[in-house]
Amino acid sequence: MINKVIIEAFTEIARQKNIDRTNLGTIIEELFTMLIKKKYGSDECECENFSVIANMERGEIEIYQEMVIVDNVVDPVTEISIQDASSEDENLQVGDPFISVIDPSQFGRRLINLAKQQLSQKIREIEKQSVYDEYTARVGEITVGYIHQIQRDQVFININKTELVMPKSEQMENDRYRRGQTIRGIIKSVEFTPKGPEIIVSRSDNQFLRRLLEMEVPEIEDEIIEVKAIARVPGDRSKVVVNSFDKRIDAVGACVGMRGSRIQAIVRELNSEKIDIINWSKQPEILITRALAPAKPIQLYLGEDRKYVMAIFEDEELPIAIGKNGQNIKLASEVTGFYIDAVKKSEHEGTKSKNIYLDEVRGISTAQLESLAKSDIHTDNEFLETDRDELLLLKGFGEKTIDKISTILSDLRNAASTEDEPKVLPSDLKESV
């Protein structure tokens, strides 16, 4: 039965939602099956003798009701009298099947409006599933969108009417946002929730830096250069280990680019995040030494049975090795896979010399400290190396006072020297130059 008015009404809804005609046909068939059950169904009848065909090409909805011809009708949904059937075809007999064609308009305006509501709901479900399927397939890709809304704990990003979320944990601390701003991030995960798909975008994830490198360095995308490991403090510093499968190509040089052009493009995207590119080596001691740059260890002791290394540095180099807030050594540990213990050379050899400041020593009065300070005596070494006759000239210092303070300072120095014994290496460590 042709009913283009109904088809066109449904098609218009689908067109607004960009729903495929094939999917729309299936949805209409399901909707009219639902309407049939509402109109004809009961506890005893499941209306399985009805068929619905939506022909979208011709704009037709065909509804067929299969019945059996009987003398006396008991169930009007599944049976038809011989008199009614004979009016259609005189050759029909009792027991023959009879196919009745139903006009969709018979369902009435109220049921048709209900079907439209159901159609809109079905389309919303299809849209949600379509978005979920699309972005699930794109997990790990970089996407570009516009900031739609900024909240305290998350930022909402719009891409072609699809809303993506960047939680606080996936943001870079030095990022600054404004509505309408273009932003790039990696699609980290997609979860289906009662409200629809929740698409998580990240700028702090290590994979974001990996994808940026692939975009800027063709040799990585062509698999000539491999990114072996990445460690980041997002927006501040990162270390990347790379390896070239072609001996003619320098992995570090390819990533940095001519005059730093390639790496600078990434640095700008990451708000001036400092990126250390490290050439991979199969020898752990070489890789660890490179990863610890700009600090240079003078000795390494590697664990034989565990991924542990003790790195010895010149005393003045240790702060550089550890880095701001421990970043350098932490990132070096992550990219090498070794736990790195940074130790001063003096601490390792037991030659550490530590001053004892007199104002921290109990047993010396404030007046005595003032007298000593006037003679530029502030530490244990300065006190013990000062001639005894000079000390006796100071106000408040006699023989007994000098002996008492000398004894206190000697005891403190002995205690400190015990703490400064050479650092004992664990038995499973071997020396590596």
State the pTM of this model.
0.65
Residues in Cβ contact with 321 at an 8 Å cutoff, skipping those fewer than 6 apart = 292, 295, 297, 311, 313, 328, 329, 342
The residues spanned by each domain of the chain are 4-132, 139-204, 210-280, 358-419
User: Dihedrals φ, ψ of 290, to 5°?
Assistant: -65, -40
How large is the greatest C-alpha to C-alpha distance in the chain, in angstroms? Answer: 144
CA distance 215 to 262: 10
User: So what's the pLDDT on residue 288?
Assistant: 95
Which pLDDT band holds residue 22 (cuts at 50, 70, 90)? low
Q: What is the pLDDT of residues 175-230, one digit of tens each?
A: 899 999 999 999 999 998 888 899 999 999 999 999 999 999 999 999 999 999 99
Q: Looking at the domain 139-204, which fold is it? A: OB fold (Dihydrolipoamide Acetyltransferase, E2P) (2.40.50)
- pLDDT given for residue 352 in this prediction: 47
pLDDT band at 123 (very low <50, low <70, confident <90, very high): confident
Q: Which CATH architecture has domain 210-280?
A: 2-Layer Sandwich (3.30)
Q: Does domain 4-132 have CATH number 3.30.160?
A: no
CATH annotation of 358-419 = 1.10.150
Q: Do domains 4-132 and 358-419 have the same CATH topology?
A: no
Q: Which of 243, 279, 274, 241 is nearest to 260 (CA)?
A: 274
